[in-house]
Amino acid sequence: MHRAGVDALLVSVGSDLPYLTGYEAMPLERLTMLVVPRDGDATLVVPRLEAPRVVEQPGVFTLLPWGETDDPVALVAGLVGRPAVAAVGDTMWARFLVELLGHWPTDATRYVRSTSVMNDLRMRKDVAEIAALQAAGAAADRVAAQLHAGDIPLVGRTEAAVSADISARLIAEGHDVVNFAIVAAGENAASPHHHASDRVIREGEVVLCDFGGTMAGYCSDITRCVSLGEPPAEVADAYAVLHEAQAAGVAAGVVGAACQDVDRAARRIIDAAGLGEYFIHRTGHGIGMEAHEDPYMVEGNDLPIEAGHAFSVEPGIYVPGKWGMRLEDIVVAAADGPLSMNHADHALVTLG
Ligand code: ZN
Ligand code: ZN
Ligand code: ZN
């Protein structure tokens, strides 16, 4: 906070709170807020009825429960004198920020995002966090292996049914929650975030599966495609380009490179193959307690990659109305090179 010039840090619902305190707040209309003055002690303000769920951490924060007739925002404002700079969490509800503005108007308080304080901490994963990402990645890999082995029936089922099947398997493999299970067949795969529908999967199609969840607080995220029958040459050739681009993106994720270098490495190969117009999104996103968090692997992000940075490398090629494909692994930058959290087969596995 000293380095960032922040006088007060206010963290409400979202993952900064469990990161700092071990307590995950319910996203309720009743305010929960960790209040950290730059030179004082931290206070966790919680609704009284939620207080029993908090595991107290003496030396980290003091617990301050508020009752149903209290004004919790006034309570928060009273814990800190008038800060010149207040850092507020990205996912604090607007209603609380609006009320806070009544106590600390902008003529004397400047508001900044809590990322100014939290990003350095959150992006650089420590040994325990990397182990958690590895465990989540291995669990997602086991579901990908089931997909590749043909254990998950595809032909004749709807995308939605396969999505539910994959979700159940993520839980069976140890995830606590499923964050998403995109299943997109044929032309639907040309929409990167296609919502699994009642569309029935047919012989001869490429099916894109992008799934992940949270396991012991940390996220998995993997994309694999399978071909139901021998793929046409156009698809097989494009997949070879995608495979090479993804590997190049992973290889570029070294300590000291810029985040945008990962994007450039993958994009260069897809561009060179004449398919650049079909790669319509950034190459990757950071991952940790959230499925998408800093740092982002995108042109314009010159942030240097540091040891412990965890991110996806997921180039895609999407031909509208025809087909789509994406290949995604989670990678953690380490002193001796990129460490992949995913080891499932990278090939376009042919089934049936
Ligand atoms: Zn995505
Ligand atoms: Zn994904
Ligand atoms: Zn992803």
Higher pLDDT, 58 or 251: 251
pTM for the whole structure? 0.93
Ligand nearest the Cα of residue 193 is 1
Domains of the chain: 8-122 (3.40.350.10), 124-351 (3.90.230.10)
Q: What is the pLDDT of residue 56?
A: 87
Give per-residue pLDDT as tens, 210-248.
Answer: 999 999 999 999 999 999 999 999 999 999 999 999 999
Distance 17 CA to ligand 2 centre (A): 25
Give the environment of ion ligand 3: residues with CB less than 5 A: 221, 312
Identity of the residue numbered 258: A
Give the environment of ion ligand 2: residues with CB less than 5 A: 210, 221, 223, 328
Distance 198 CA to ligand 1 centre (A): 21
Distance 210 CA to ligand 2 centre (A): 5
Q: What is the pLDDT of residue 134?
A: 98
- Asked if the model's pLDDT at residue 28 lies above 90, the reply is no
Distance 312 CA to ligand 2 centre (A): 8
